[in-house]
Structure 1
Amino acid sequence: MLIIHHWDTDGITSAALLVKALNLVEFKNMSPPIGEFRFDERIKRAIERSEEIYILDLNLPHEVEGINKSIVFIDHHIQPRIRNPKVKQINPALEGEEAPSASFVVSQYFNFWNTWSALGVIGDIGEKAFEIPKVGELLEREGFTKEEALRLVELMDSNYITTERKSVEKAVKVVLETPVRDLLTYGPWVKKAEAIGEAINGALAGAEVRDGMAFITFKSPFNIISKVARKAVWEIGYEGAVVVNEDFHGKAQIYFRISSKMAKKINMGEIISELKGKGFNAGGKREVLGCICEKDKIEEVLRIINAHLG
C-alpha cells in the first residue's frame, strides 16, 4: 500500500485517517517535493513497486492519467474528472459541492472521524473552520480549545515550511503513535515553529498595500508563502494578498489568496487555467492560487494575476 499525500496538516491528517480507517499495519507514505505540484522520480519508482495506491489532498489529476495501477484519488480541490478507468476519484467538487478539507472527505467516505479530521480543516481554512459545527464537536470530544488546535496545526505545518520532506513523511507516523494532546509539546516541531514565526513576521513587515490588496515580496528558504498570505488576509484583514518568494531554493513561489468577499468578484479557476495553459505549474481552489516557476518568469505570472485584478 502506497499513500501519496500533500505536505501540510490536511495531507498528514488525511493519511493518518486513512491508515486508521483501513486498519493498515504495513504501508508506505510519501509526499511530493515540498512546494512543487508534481510526482518526482522517487514517487514514480514507488508507484511502480506498489499494487494499491491512495493519493490524498493533491490536485494532480494529470499525474495519474497514464498509470496502469489501482488508484484511489481523494481530494477537495477544483479539478477535472480523471479519465483513467483504473482511478477511483472521490471529490465533492466534481458534483459542485464544497468540502473544507481532504480530511473531511476521507472521514466522510470511510465514516471515521476524530480530532485529526478537524485539524485538517483548520489547517486549510484557518479561523473559519470553527464556524463548522462538526469541527467544534470533534475538538470537544478531545477537550481541545480553539487556541490549542491552531497551535497544533502550526506545529504540524512546521515540517513542510522548513522544507523537510522526510519530516513531513515521518509526521504521519508521529501522529499515529502519539496521543494528540502530547503533540503540542513535541520538541522537534516546537523548535521549528519558533524559527518560522520570526520569518513570517519579517515578510509581513515589508507589505505594500494598494486598494486593500497587500503585495508582499521576500526571500526565504522556508516555505512560508501560504502562511504569509493567510495571515495577511485572515488576521490582518486585507481583501487579498499577492505574495512572492523570489528565491525558494533556486525557484520562485507565487501565492495569491483572496477574502470570501473578493471570491465573488474574482474567478480563481480562470486564473489557474490561464496559467496552466501557458505551461506554469499552478493549482488552487476558490480563494487561493499557488504557482512555482523560474525566477525570470515572476513578472509574467504577476501580469496574468493583475489582469484579473483589473
Structure 2
Amino acid sequence: MEEKYEKLYNRAEEVRRACLSMESPLIVHHYDADGISSAAITYKALLKAGKKPRLLMLNTLSKEDIELLMEEKEIIFVDLGSSIEDMDKLENAIIIDHHQPRDNIKANTINPCNYGIDGGKECSSSTLAYIVFREMPELALVGAAGDMQSPFTGVNRLVLEELRDYYDVVKDISFYGRSNRPLHTFLTYSDAHIIGLKDNYGGAMALINKSGVEHRDGSRWRTYDELTEDEKKRVRSSLLEFLIKTGQKDLVKDVFGEVYVLKKGKLPHKDIREIATTLNSCGRYGAGWLGIEFCLSINGAQERIKKMGREHRYKVKKAREALKKSIVEDGPLIIADGRGVVEANIIGIVCGSLQHELNKTVVGIANRGGEVKISVRSPEKINIGSLLSRIAKKYGGEGGGHNSAGGAEIKKELFSDFLEELKKELKTLLCN
C-alpha cells in the first residue's frame, strides 16, 4: 500500500477512537447520497458501541448554522464542514469529509485531500466512514457512486478490492436503470448522447428487435437485469454494431464500462448507483431520515421510498429538458440558467448530466430563497472547489467542492458581479 494510503488508514483509526469516546453526538450530514450513506454508517457504528447518536441533515453548512450548533457538546460532521472558517468556534467537533479543506483547520479531521488524494475522484465520504468504522460494507461505495466517481480508483479501489465478497465488478453496458427501467427505456437514458437512441424509444425498440430478445414477459416490460446472459450478450452486440454503423464508435468507452453490483446485504437494489439515486431522492426532498431508515433496512422504509424515487427521477428528467433550452455557450463554458425553472436541490445532478453529454464545463444556476445556487461541473482537471470557495467568500457567500466539481450560494443582489468574475477566472483556467 502506498504511503499516502497508509497515513489515511492510520488517521482513520485515530478518528474512530475519538468518535467512540463520545456519548451522544449529533451527526450533521449532507443531504445527498454520499452524506446519507456516510451518516448511516456512522450512526450504526455508534449505536453498536452503546452510544446515543442523533442526526441532522443540512443542504449547506452556513455561518448561522455554526452559531446554532455552538450549544452542542459533541458533533460529528460527515460529508461537509471542511471549508467553513467558523468551524473553529466549535470546541468538540470531528469532521469526516472528502471536500477540499481550508488551510489550518483546527477541528479533528480526516480528509483524503490532506494526504495528496483527490477527494473528488478517488474517495467519497461513505468510503471514509467505512474505513473509520468498518461498519455496513454494503454502503461503503454508495457515496462514491452517487458522486459519480466511477470507475473506482485510489481509496475507492482499495475498499472495492477489500470487499469483493460484497461487490461484483461487471464489464457491461454502464447505463443507469438496469434493474428498475424497462429495457427500451434503459437504452434511451444513457449519459452518452447516442444519436438515434438518446430519448428515442423507436430507435431502442428497433435495436432490441434486431437482437432477437423478447422485451416483454406477458404484459410486463422486462428489465436488462432480467435477461439471460445470452440475451444480454445479444443486446450488447447489437448496441456495439449500432455505434459502429452510425459513426459513433468514439462513444464505446462511455457506453461500456464497470458496473458495481452488490452481492450481500438487505438493500433491494443490486446496482449501487440505484441505491445512490434512492438516497438522493430522499435527501433532496427533505426526507433524509427516510434514507437512513432505508440504509438500516427498517421495516416499511423501502415501500415508502419507491414513490419518492419515481418522483425524483421524473423531476430530474424534466429539469434536464428545461435546462437544455436555456443553454448559452460562452467560449469554453456552457451557462445553464435554471432560475425559476429548476429546483436548487437538483441543479448539481442536472449539471453533471449535461457535462457528461456535452463534454464542456457547465455552470448551472438556480434560485434558493434570497440566494442563488451555482453548480459547476467540468471534464477538465481544474480546482473548481478552491475557486468557488475563494470567489464566494469575496461576495459574502459560501462555496467549495472538489477538482472538476463544486457549488456556491450567493445573495441575489451580488450574483451578477459574482458570475462575471467566476466566468472570467474559469475561462482563464480552461484556456491556459
TM-score (norm 1): 0.81
Residue 194 of structure 1: aligned partner: 314
Distance of aligned partners of 1:242 and 1:172 in 2 relative to their CA distance in 1, 3 Å threshold: same
Amino acid at match of 1:176: L
**Preserved CA contact (<8 Å) 2:262 2:271:** no
1:211 Cα deviation from its structure 2 partner = 4.5
Residue 89 of structure 1: aligned partner: 109
Matched, 1:13 2:37: yes
1:142 Cα deviation from its structure 2 partner = 2.7
1:80 partner SS: coil
1:279 partner SS: coil
Residue 352 of structure 2: aligned partner: 230
Q: 2:388, 2:67 → 1: CA distance? A: 29
Please list the CA deviations of residues 274-306 of structure 1 after superposition, one character each: whole Å capped at 9, or x if unmatched: 332342221112112211112222221211222
**Preserved CA contact (<8 Å) 2:377 2:404:** yes
2:271 partner SS: helix
Q: 1:6, 1:18 → 2: CA distance? A: 13
Matched, 1:263 2:381: yes
1:115 Cα deviation from its structure 2 partner = 2.2
Amino acid at match of 2:98: H
Matched, 1:215 2:338: no
1:221 Cα deviation from its structure 2 partner = 3.5
Q: 2:315, 2:391 → 1: CA distance? A: 36
Distance of aligned partners of 1:201 and 1:125 in 2 relative to their CA distance in 1, 3 Å threshold: same
Q: 2:136, 2:26 → 1: CA distance? A: 22
Q: 1:185, 1:83 → 2: CA distance? A: 38
1:130 Cα deviation from its structure 2 partner = 8.2
Matched, 1:286 2:409: no
Q: Map residues 152-191 of structure 1 onto 2, 5 A cutoff.
A: 152-162=275-285, 164=286, 167-178=287-298, 186-191=306-311
Distance of aligned partners of 1:267 and 1:228 in 2 relative to their CA distance in 1, 3 Å threshold: closer
Please list the CA deviations of residues 12-32 of structure 1 after superposition, one character each: whole Å capped at 9, or x if unmatched: 000111122332563210022
Distance of aligned partners of 1:7 and 1:200 in 2 relative to their CA distance in 1, 3 Å threshold: same
Q: 1:52 aligns with which of 74, 79, 82?
A: 74
Q: 2:274, 2:41 → 1: CA distance? A: 20
Residue 299 of structure 1: aligned partner: 416
Amino acid at match of 2:422: I
1:93 Cα deviation from its structure 2 partner = 1.0
Distance of aligned partners of 1:214 and 1:15 in 2 relative to their CA distance in 1, 3 Å threshold: same
2:141 partner SS: helix
Which contiguous aligned blocks of 4+ residues in structure 1 show a shift greater than 6 angstroms? 144-147
Q: 1:270, 1:182 → 2: CA distance? A: 39
Q: 1:170, 1:195 → 2: CA distance? A: 19
Residue 134 of structure 2: aligned partner: 111
- Structure showing greater radius of gyration is 2
Please list the CA deviations of residues 184-204 of structure 1 after superposition, one character each: whole Å capped at 9, or x if unmatched: 963333333323332232212
Amino acid at match of 1:31: M
Q: 1:182, 1:106 → 2: CA distance? A: 23
Q: 1:250, 1:80 → 2: CA distance? A: 26
Matched, 1:31 2:149: no
Matched, 1:139 2:262: no
Distance of aligned partners of 1:217 and 1:135 in 2 relative to their CA distance in 1, 3 Å threshold: farther
1:45 Cα deviation from its structure 2 partner = 4.6
**Preserved CA contact (<8 Å) 1:204 1:228:** no
Distance of aligned partners of 1:304 and 1:175 in 2 relative to their CA distance in 1, 3 Å threshold: same
1:223 partner SS: helix
1:186 partner SS: helix
2:283 partner SS: helix
Which region of structure 1 is more displaced relative to structure 2, 223-232 or 198-207? 198-207
Distance of aligned partners of 1:39 and 1:294 in 2 relative to their CA distance in 1, 3 Å threshold: closer
Residue 390 of structure 2: aligned partner: 273
1:121 Cα deviation from its structure 2 partner = 0.4
Q: 1:211, 1:187 → 2: CA distance? A: 41
Percent identity of the aligned residues? 18
Q: 2:323 aligns with which of 191, 203, 210?
A: 203
